[in-house]
Amino acid sequence: MKIYTPAQKLTLHISLILSLGFFLLYGLSQFIPATIGCVILFVLFRGMFHFLVSKRRWGKTLAALTVMAMSLLIVILPLTLVGIMLARKVILYASNTETIVDSFNHLLQNPILLRIQEMTGIDFENKQLLQQVASRVATFASNLFTPLLSGTASVLLGVSVLYVVLYYVLVNEEKLIATFYKYLPFDDATIDEIYAELSNNVKSSVVGQGLIAMVQAVLVGVGFWIFGVKDAFFWGVVSFFAAFIPVLGTPLVWVPAAIIEMANGDNVAGVGLLIYGGVLVINIDNVLRFAIAKRIGDIHPLVTIFGVIFGLEFFGILGLVMGPLLISYFFVLVKAYNKEYTRDKTPIVVPPTEPAP
C-alpha cells in the first residue's frame, strides 16, 4: 500500500531530481568554464564541421577531430602560451613591488609631476600609500594569472573535458538539437531566434572583439618598439587583454608608458606615444568596431562593463570574454520569455463607467 498521494509523489520526484541536479552542478562547477568554452567553440566552428561533412563528404568522426585540432591550434594553444608568458611576467613584477615603488618615487622628481603635485595637493610621494596600492594591484593581477602556472593539471583537465564534450556535441548534433527542441519551454521559432542571438553574441564578443584587440595589440607593440620602450612584445600582449576592458582599454598601457618616458626626460618618446596612441590606436578601435557592428553585431557597452566585472571575479582572465557572454545570454532568455508569453496577449480594455443618474 502506497503512503503517498499522486500529488505528493510528483512533488517528491521533482524534489529528488532538483536536489540531485544541484548537487551534480556543485560538484562539477569547476568545469563550467570548459562547458562555456565548448559552446563558444561549437558556435565558431560549426560551419567548418558542416562544410567537411556535407561538401567534402567526410565522416563525422574525422570532421569532428579536424575541427578540434584546428580550434586547438588557432584558439586554445596560442591563448594558453600567451597567458603563461604573461603570468610569469606579472608574478615577477608582483614579487618586486618595493623596487617598482622606488622607481616610481624617482620618476616623481620630474619637474612636471612636481608641479602637478603642487596644483592638486596630492602627495604622490607617500611611499606607504604607494606600497599599499602596488601590493593590491599585484595581488589582483597574480590572482588572475597564477592558475595558469600553479594549476597546470587543472587547466589540462579543463581543456580535456572541453574537447570530450565538444566531440560528442559535434558528432551527435542532430540528437542534441532534437532534445533541445523537445525540452526547452519555447516554440520552435523562438528557439531558432535564441540560437541566432547567441551565435551573434559569441561572434561579436569573441571574433569581433578578438580581432579589435589583436589589431590594437600589434599597433601598441609596434609603437613601443618605434619609440624605444622596453619589452614591446610583452606590453603588446598586455594590450590585447586590456582591449577587452570597456571604456579604459589600451590607454591603460600606453598612457602610463608615455608618462614614464616623459618623467625619464625622453619627451619625444612620451609625446610621440600619446599622439600615436590617441590618433592611431584609439581611432582604429572606433573604425573596426563600427565595421564589425554592421557585419556581425555588437554587445551593449553596459553589458560589457558589468560582464567584465562579473567575469573577472568568477573566471579570472577568461572572464573578459565569458562574463559579457553570460550576461548577454541572460538578456536573450528574457527576450525569449517576453516574445513567447506576451506576443499574443492583447491589453484588456475596461469600458468607462457611466455616471450614476
Question: Each residue's pLDDT tens digit in the chain (357 positions)?
Answer: 567 777 778 888 888 888 888 888 777 777 777 888 888 888 888 889 989 988 888 888 999 999 999 988 888 888 777 777 776 776 666 666 565 555 566 555 666 666 666 666 555 555 555 555 556 655 655 555 555 555 566 677 778 888 888 999 888 888 888 888 888 777 777 778 778 877 877 777 777 778 888 888 899 889 889 888 887 888 888 888 888 776 677 888 888 888 777 767 777 888 888 888 888 888 887 777 767 666 665 666 677 777 777 777 777 666 777 777 778 778 877 877 777 777 554 444 444 545 544
CA 230-232-233 angle, to 5 degrees, is 135
Q: At which residue does the C-alpha cell 560582464 appear?
A: 307
Residue 309 parent element (H or E) = helix 301-315
Nearest to 240 by CA among 167, 170, 320: 320
The count of other CB atoms within 10 Å of the CB of residue 312 is 19
- Cβ atoms of 258 and 217 within 8 Å: the answer is no
Structure-block grid coordinates of residue 247: 571604456
The per-residue b/e assignment along 105-138, b for 16 or more CB within 10 angstroms, e otherwise, is eebbebeebeeeeeeeeeeeeeeeebeeebeeeb
The per-residue pLDDT for 92 is 66
CA distances to 32, 236, 239, 260 from 232, rounded to whole Å, are: 35, 6, 10, 14
The per-residue pLDDT for 42 is 87
Could you report the per-residue pLDDT of 101-158, keeping only the tens digit for each? 555 665 556 666 666 666 665 555 555 555 555 566 556 555 555 555 555 666 777 7
Q: Which residues contact 296 (CB under 8 A, 6 or more apart)?
A: 200, 203, 204, 207, 208
Average pLDDT, the chain: 75
CA 110-112-118 angle, to 5 degrees, is 105
pTM over 0.95? The answer is no
The per-residue pLDDT for 65 is 92
Q: At which residue does the C-alpha cell 538578456 appear?
A: 331
The per-residue pLDDT for 2 is 64
Helices (H) and strands (E) in the chain, counts: 17, 0
* Residue 316: alpha-carbon gap to chain centroid: 9
